[in-house]
Amino acid sequence: MPSARPSTADKRKTFRELHRSGCFVIPNPWNVGSARTLQGLGFKAIASTSSGHAHSEGYADGAQSMDDVLAHYQEIAAETDIPLNADFENGFADDPDGVAANVTRCIATGVAGLSIEDSPQHGQFPLYDFDQALARVKAARAAIDKASGDVVFTARTEGFIRGRPDIDETIRRLKAFADAGADCLYSPGIKTREHIEATVKAVGGKAINFLNSGAFGFTVNDLAGFGVRRISVGGTLARVAMDAFIKSAKAIATEGRFDSFAGVISNAELNKFFAESRKA
């Protein structure tokens, strides 16, 4: 008989333990099929990607409604046996009270962790001012503690991908967010060993997530040596899939050629994998 599936509480406990020591990769699926594939490959946890899911549904990143995003989290969490971290963007609110209310809803989907950004979705300015950003982190922390203290809270500062690449301000915010109760800290867009190690040092032993698109040349072992605890890939895997799809379709449309179909995984192999994954 198949073993009992892990509960939400089990997955949250596992996810928290992963952050205590060592270094792990948390790849980003964009639907149930990609999530179950990553689980089958042995990854210990997964994280949603706002861009990957949005693009798969025909939206620009950040253009989906919160209800659609929450339904996506709930589906992935229900269909997988490993912890899911939610890329909850800016919490779909500017004010701290709105963030707290929406974080509560996010937790109810069954996620094991969630992240909150310090940049608004609508892009009228790059970052929330420091005091507002900190108040939002404190509100998210309080909501998590009230609903379920086991959910891992990641606080993000977006300066390096929002036109404000200031390492001193990044470190200032990471320190403040760590002191306000974030379990994991994340500054997407930093690229150098010096910046990575500076952020690791700044947060007093708490976990640092590094976004690795593959362009930086760092391996898992490299990043572990820098002190990184968690490595994500954002929307890159989703873009790999979309890039292959577009190139293949373009060759058919413009050249009438089907060469790109050579060597791809077979329907039978995929059927076998997903059928067996349902029995596990």
Q: Quote the percentage of the chain above a pLDDT of 70.
A: 99
User: Exposure of 128 by Cβ count < 10 A (0-12 exposed, 13-18 middle, 19+ buried)?
Assistant: buried
Q: Determine how many CB atoms are found less than 10 A away from the CB of residue 212.
A: 20
DSSP class of residue 162 equals T
**Is 275 inside any structural domain?**
no
Q: Which two tokens stand for residue 217?
A: 């040349």
Q: Say if residue 203's pLDDT is above 70.
A: yes
Q: What is the pLDDT of residue 277?
A: 86
Give me the chain's average pLDDT, please: 96
SS3 assignment, position 144? helix
The pTM of this model reads: 0.96
**Is 24 inside any structural domain?**
yes
CA–CA distance from 275 to each of 43, 140, 271, 280 (Å)?
Answer: 19, 39, 6, 9
With cut-offs at 50, 70 and 90, classify the pLDDT of residue 3. Answer: low
Give per-residue pLDDT as tens, 5-16: 999 999 999 999
**Is 91 inside any structural domain?**
yes
Q: Is residue 76 within 8 Å of residue 34, measured between CB atoms?
A: no
Rounded to an integer, the average pLDDT of 128-140 is 98
* Sheet architecture: strand order including 24-26: 24-26, 230-232, 207-211, 184-186, 152-156, 113-116, 84-87, 46-47
**Is 32 inside any structural domain?**
yes
Closest CA to 153 of 221, 234, 192, 209: 209
Rounded to an integer, the average pLDDT of 99-105 is 98
C-alpha–C-alpha distance, residues 59 and 51, integer Å:
9
Q: Say if residue 2's pLDDT is above 80.
A: no
**Is 93 inside any structural domain?**
yes
**Is 23 inside any structural domain?**
yes
**Is 198 inside any structural domain?**
yes
Q: How many CA atoms lie within 13 A of 251 on its CB side?
A: 10
Q: Please give the residue range of the domain that contains residue 69.
A: 8-238
Q: Say if residue 268's pLDDT is above 50.
A: yes
Rounded to an integer, the average pLDDT of 217-241 is 96
Q: Say if residue 190's pLDDT is above 50.
A: yes
Q: What is the pLDDT of residue 122?
A: 77
Q: Is residue 84 within 8 Å of residue 48, measured between CB atoms?
A: yes
With cut-offs at 50, 70 and 90, classify the pLDDT of residue 22. Answer: very high
Q: What is the pLDDT of residue 196?
A: 98
Count of domains observed in the chain: 1
First to last CA, the chain: 9
Rounded to an integer, the average pLDDT of 45-74 is 97
Q: What is the pLDDT of residue 178?
A: 98
Q: What is the pLDDT of residue 1?
A: 47
**Is 146 inside any structural domain?**
yes
**Most distant pair of Cα atoms in the chain: their distance:** 59
CATH number for position 218: 3.20.20.60
With cut-offs at 50, 70 and 90, classify the pLDDT of residue 262. Answer: very high
Q: Determine how many CB atoms are found less than 10 A away from the CB of residue 35.
A: 23
Give per-residue pLDDT as tens, 143-187: 999 997 799 999 999 999 999 999 999 999 999 999 999 999 999
